[in-house]
Amino acid sequence: MAYLPNPARYDTLEYRRCGRSGLRLPAISLGLWQNFGEKDTLGNCRTLLRTAFDAGITHFDLANNYGPPPGAAEETFGRLYKDDFRAHRDELIISTKAGYGMWPGPYGDGGSRKYLVASLDQSLRRTGLDYVDIYYHHRPDPNTPLEESMGALDALVRQGKALYVGLSNYPAAEARRACAILRELGTPCLIHQPKYSMLVRTPEEGLLEVLAEEGVGCIAFSSLAQGVLTDKYLQGVPSDSRAARQLGNGAIEEGQLSPANIEKARQLNDLAGERGQTLAQMALAWVLRDPRMTSVIIGASKPQQITDAVRCLDAPRFGDEELGRIEAILAGKT
């Protein structure tokens, strides 16, 4: 049946300005790293994308290697885009990335101009898009001069294949250098995509300061710690959970569910209940408490996870006492 999006889709979600750019992103974005590969049913993928768009999520995050196998998530997105979203192209911000191993030989990995240019052409073919909104270098490459990687991003914007460029997984000092090179080239860096959650605090060690100074937005990934910062693993490991599915490619495994983190999740879950939220909602709201954060990219295997997430800012802002209690739980001092 033809997809008719919810007419009220822009009524509830907050849209935040991305750094000093003119672009606003939804506070919650949807990532296609997991659950959009060959093993996943097209019907569920369709439901997830429609649920997100109906809830006001205008930003879908891809990468060349998302699947499995690599490339599959872009192909899945391309099929659904053709069926459901082509008429809404100008309402969407689609990102993709290159930087991890994608094809054999010396040109399918890293940060060379050769790799970044060829990979975006492949991504456009798989998705059926004429251009992506944001093209990221997925990780720094110590074997390629930053000038070459940033020069490739700038060239792709000038060719009309990307509207904006971003960095992912760049430490603070390299991010600052990359931003300076991009500014000099006339293609300012739009956004940085780091891992950031209650359990992974690295961006607080300098990166967020650099991004604020440079006027660059910040969009966090794995802010639910792949499900650990939800109530999902509090009573064991459900058979349909990511940890049980042995997905590989960086997906969390059962052995990584440490008893210490599950205990923290249990205490955080109680605190979330006091706030009238689910733990997932509190974990997302906690990342978004910092005004330097533009958005959080969630992953989802079920539509309810999306509708749950978009209501994360409904509860009152965190008070100092609550933030202190969260810090104490995270430090294991309770």
- Site membership for ligand NAP, residue 313 (CB under 6 A): no
Residue 54 as a binder of ligand NAP (CB under 6 A): the answer is no
Each as own residue / partner, the long-range contacts of residues 252-256 (CB below 8 Å, 24 or more positions apart, any chain) are 252/225, 252/226, 252/227, 252/228
Q: Binding of ligand NAP at residue 119 (CB under 6 A)?
A: no
Query: How far apart are the C-alpha atoms of 220 and 284, rounded to whole Å?
Result: 10
For ligand NAP, the closer CB: 112 or 222: 222
The residues in 178-197 that bind ligand NAP, with binding defined as CB under 6 A, are 193
Residue 224 beta carbon to ligand NAP: minimum distance, rounded to whole angstroms: 3
Reading phi first (left if > 0) and then psi (alpha if -120 to 50, else beta), residue 246 is in: left
Instruction: Of 111, 189, 186, 104, give the one whose Cα is nearest residue 152.
Output: 111
Q: Interface with ligand NAP includes 61 (CB under 6 A)?
A: yes
Closest contact distance (angstroms) between CB of 120 and ligand NAP is 16
288 binds ligand NAP (CB under 6 A): no
Return d(Cα 62, Cα 96) in angstroms, integer.
Answer: 5
Q: Are 68 and 249 in contact (CB under 8 A)?
A: yes
Interface stretch with ligand NAP, choices 80-88, 143-151, 170-178, 222-230 (CB under 6 A): 222-230
* Contacts of residue 51, Cβ cutoff 8 Å, sequence gap at least 6: 303, 306, 307
Smallest distance, ligand NAP to C-beta of residue 7, A: 26
C-alpha–C-alpha distance, residues 98 and 82, integer Å:
23
91: tokens are 């309402």
> Residue 299 interacts with ligand NAP (CB under 6 A)?
yes
133 binds ligand NAP (CB under 6 A): no
Contacts of residue 49, Cβ cutoff 8 Å, sequence gap at least 6: 30, 60, 77, 80, 84, 85
Among 298, 310, 326, 329, binds ligand NAP (CB under 6 A): 298
Is 225 among the residues that bind ligand NAP (CB under 6 A)?
Answer: yes
Number of residues that bind ligand NAP (CB under 6 A): 29
The alpha carbon dihedral of 74, 80, 85, 86 has a sign of positive
Interface pattern 233-272 for ligand NAP (x via CB under 6 A): --------xx------------------------------
Closest approach of Cβ 226 to ligand NAP, in Å? 4
Rounded Cα–Cα distance for residues 214 and 181 (Å):
12
Site stretch for ligand NAP (CB under 6 A), options 8-16, 80-88, 220-228, 253-261: 220-228
Contact 253, 246 (CB under 8 A): yes
Q: Taking CB under 6 A as the rule, does residue 230 contact ligand NAP? A: yes
Q: Which residue ranges make up the site for ligand NAP (CB under 6 A)?
A: 31-35, 61, 138, 168-169, 193, 221-227, 230, 232, 241-242, 280, 297-301, 305, 308
